[in-house]
């Protein structure tokens, strides 16, 4: 799964890298967590970066607080679940990031279970997770709540020893453009939902500061001290 990530790129780099303008000021986030307002680019507005709540509230639910608000969606079953299948066809998004955290499932290599790791590209550059978005409308007030979820896939060789899932990192700008393109078929979109090449990524252990979303500072990026 993907439950925490970072996005610390400055606005100028964001606009150059993703060819989109920032609709809102957005401070660097070192520990993005569900329910927060985070930057995405939707297929409905591909030239605009928007702040949207993480944790999908489907448009068809009556009460936004009564049901699950999935932060992840499995790539392998998107076409099988009616709510995700419709979003795959009509509401896709880029979730902007530059690294993510994962906690290893089992003790290994001298590290206990629940040890947090940070994963990023070897280049260190920003990238986009494949995501889905939707809008929930309050029938009484007319309030519109846009939300999103991050798509996950099977792990690559770097992730596999630590966890059984990883977020889908779209492989380059052409893949990002294709993911947002409504003219591309759902079948072609699903071909983009694959593990990122392990040899193009790196990881290291970080401290347990990252366990709490309240810790949102550069310190959470630092490698963990031995025995921490």
Residue 117 has pLDDT above 80, yes or no: yes
| Beta-bridge partners for 93 | 42, 131
Over residues 77-82, mean pLDDT: 87
What DSSP designation does 21 have? E
Top-confidence residue, 226 or 154: 154
Rounded Cα distance, 169 and 153, in Å: 10
48-54 and 144-153 beta bridge pairing: parallel
Mean pLDDT (the chain, rounded): 92
Grouping H, G, I as helix, E, B as strand and the rest as coil, residue 196 is coil
Residue 180 has pLDDT above 60, yes or no: yes
The rounded radius of gyration (Å) of the Cα atoms in the chain is 17
Question: Residue 20 — very low, low, confident or very high, per pLDDT cuts 50/70/90?
Answer: very high
- pLDDT tens for 119-155 read 999 999 999 999 999 999 988 888 899 999 999 999 9
Question: Residue 226 — very low, low, confident or very high, per pLDDT cuts 50/70/90?
Answer: low
Structure tokens, 221: 């990026």
Over residues 71-77, mean pLDDT: 95
| Residue 25 confidence (pLDDT) | 74
Top-confidence residue, 108 or 15: 15
The catalytic site residues sit at 2, 102
Over residues 5-27, mean pLDDT: 87
| Residue 99 confidence (pLDDT) | 98
Residue linked to tokens 């928007």? 50
Residue linked to tokens 């078929």? 185
| Beta-bridge partners for 7 | 29
Domains of the chain listed by start with CATH number: 4-221 (3.90.1680.10)
Top-confidence residue, 60 or 34: 34
Residue 228 has pLDDT above 60, yes or no: no
Rounded Cα distance, 146 and 196, in Å: 27
Question: Residue 190 — very low, low, confident or very high, per pLDDT cuts 50/70/90?
Answer: very high
Question: Do residues 51 and 23 make contact, with C-beta atoms less than 8 angstroms apart?
Answer: yes
- pLDDT tens for 49-67 read 999 999 999 988 888 787 7
Closest CA to 95 of 35, 18, 183: 18
Question: Do residues 53 and 28 make contact, with C-beta atoms less than 8 angstroms apart?
Answer: no
| Residue 106 confidence (pLDDT) | 76
Query: Phi/psi at 49 (nearest 5 deg)?
Result: -90, 125
Rounded Cα distance, 49 and 46, in Å: 8
Residue 50: CB partners within 8 Å, gap ≥ 6?
A: 23, 24, 39, 40, 41, 42, 146
DSSP per position, 38-92: EEEEETTSTTEEEEEEES---TT-S-TTTS---SEEEGGGTTTSHHHHHHHHH-E
Q: To which H or E segment does residue 190 belong?
A: helix 186-191
The pLDDT > 70 percentage for the chain reads 98
Over residues 93-105, mean pLDDT: 95
| Residue 6 confidence (pLDDT) | 97
| Residue 227 confidence (pLDDT) | 46
Q: To which H or E segment does residue 99 belong?
A: strand 99-103
């Amino acid at each position: 799964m993907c439950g925490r990530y970072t996005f610390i790129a400055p606005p100028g780099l964001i606009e150059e890298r993703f060819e989109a303008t920032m609709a809102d000021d957005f401070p660097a986030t070192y520990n993005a967590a569900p329910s927060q307002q985070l930057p995405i680019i939707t297929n409905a507005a591909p030239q605009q970066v928007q702040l949207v709540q993480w944790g999908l509230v489907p448009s068809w639910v009556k009460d936004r607080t009564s049901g699950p608000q999935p932060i992840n969606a499995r790539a392998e079953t998107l076409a099988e679940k009616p709510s995700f299948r419709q979003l795959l066809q009509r509401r896709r998004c880029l979730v902007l990031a530059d690294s993510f955290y994962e906690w290893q499932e089992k003790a290994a290599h001298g590290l206990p279970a629940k040890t947090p790791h940070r994963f990023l590209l070897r280049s260190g550059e920003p990238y986009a997770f494949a995501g889905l978005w939707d809008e929930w409308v309050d029938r009484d007030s007319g309030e519109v709540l846009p939300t999103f979820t991050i798509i996950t896939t099977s792990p690559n060789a770097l992730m596999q020893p630590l966890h059984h899932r990883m977020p889908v990192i779209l492989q380059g700008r052409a893949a990002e453009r294709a993911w947002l393109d409504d003219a591309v078929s759902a079948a072609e979109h699903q071909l983009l939902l694959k593990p990122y090449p392990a040899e193009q990524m790196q990881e290291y252990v970080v401290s347990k500061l990252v366990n709490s979303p309240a810790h949102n500072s550069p310190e959470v990026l630092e490698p963990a001290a031995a025995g921490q």
